[in-house]
Amino acid sequence: MRMTGFAAVIAIAAALSGQVADPHHTVTAVEGESWSNHIHRTFNETSMGKTGDLGPAPPVPGDPASTWRLELSSNFAAPTVVVHGADLYRLNCRGCHGELGHGAPPEINSVIGPVQATSVTATTQKMKAAGRDINHADIVQVARESKTLLLQRLHVGGQHMPPPTLTEEEIRALVPYLKQLSDVPGAEKDQVALKISSYRVGEHIVKSTCHVCHNATGPNPSPEQILQGQIPPLSALTARVSLTDFVRKVTAGAPISMGRPPAFYRGRMPVFRYLTQDEAGAAYLYLNRYPPK
């Protein structure tokens, strides 16, 4: 069953009336400056969050009206949802590293090489294909060191990579998918599932994707300021737009009012078509339940 906008609002009101505890993680509010501000880059100076495409242009008079509509499932605000490593990659990594993990070099590195280097089998095959003879013990050592570096990135981030907010259990689910994405032999047999709350889904999206460009809090910019490049803070989003408009903007894109006098423009925000409406709805739910600090 799919939800209309009114039914979805009723569901949100019911969900917001009480906390849903994640058995594996204490959900916390997003806080602080955006990652792009942290590394002193403007939106136009970084590839982060721009591996997708832009939304639709403003409609031209006479063009047919958009057929998009809100279609949240009846359990989009369920206490727990089942996710796999592929889901955790979408929620946390894909916005910057892309569908295939290739990133946007030189700023955003590919995950493929570093992940393949953690596998003795993959490294051995790679060395043989390159015509290089390397001692097995050396390959084991390289794989061990590469795994340490990979886990370090997944715990604390890097120079251009914001620190992920993954739990140990989530990392253990994500790594097998990273190996499968990187064509590590046998990785497809190691995929695991885990349960997290819908609030946790929203937390992943907001902290790992939205917070790259949006500050947690701050003044709500005017249409003229938005045209000049200011980005609305996360604390203002649920007041600026409804659930329906939020989900549409995230998953399909929508023109935005900018300038003085205000006029509709395509806007700069990429569309995250790989997120489902339920997942975008969970992000809206999370921002409501855990106001940014």
Per-residue pLDDT, 70: 96
Yes or no: say if 234 and 287 are a contact pair by the CB < 8 Å rule.
Answer: yes
Q: What is the pTM of this model?
A: 0.89
Per-residue pLDDT, 161: 93
Q: Distance of CA 235 to CAs 5, 46, 215, 216, Å?
A: 22, 23, 8, 6
Residues (pLDDT < 50) of the chain are 1, 4, 6-7, 9-22
Per-residue pLDDT, 24: 52
Q: What is the 3-state secondary structure (H, E, C) of the chain?
A: CEECHHHHHHHHHHHHCCCCCECCECCCCCCCCCHHHHCCCCHHHCCCCCCCEECCCCCCCCCCCCCCCCCEECCCCCCCEEEEHHHHHHHHCHHHHCCCCCCECCCECCCHHHHHCCCHHHHHHHHHHCCCCCCHHHHHHHHHHHHHHHHHHHHHCCCCCCCCCCCHHHHHHHHHHHHHHCCCCCHHHHCCEEEECHHHHHHHHHHHCHHHCCCCCCCCCCHHHHHCCCCCCHHHHHHHCCHHHHHHHHHCCCCEEECCCCEEECCCCEECCCCCHHHHHHHHHHHHHCCCC
Per-residue pLDDT, 16: 42
Per-residue pLDDT, 99: 95
Per-residue pLDDT, 34: 96
Q: Which value, in Å, is the radius of gyration of the alpha carbons in the chain? A: 21
Per-residue pLDDT, 249: 95
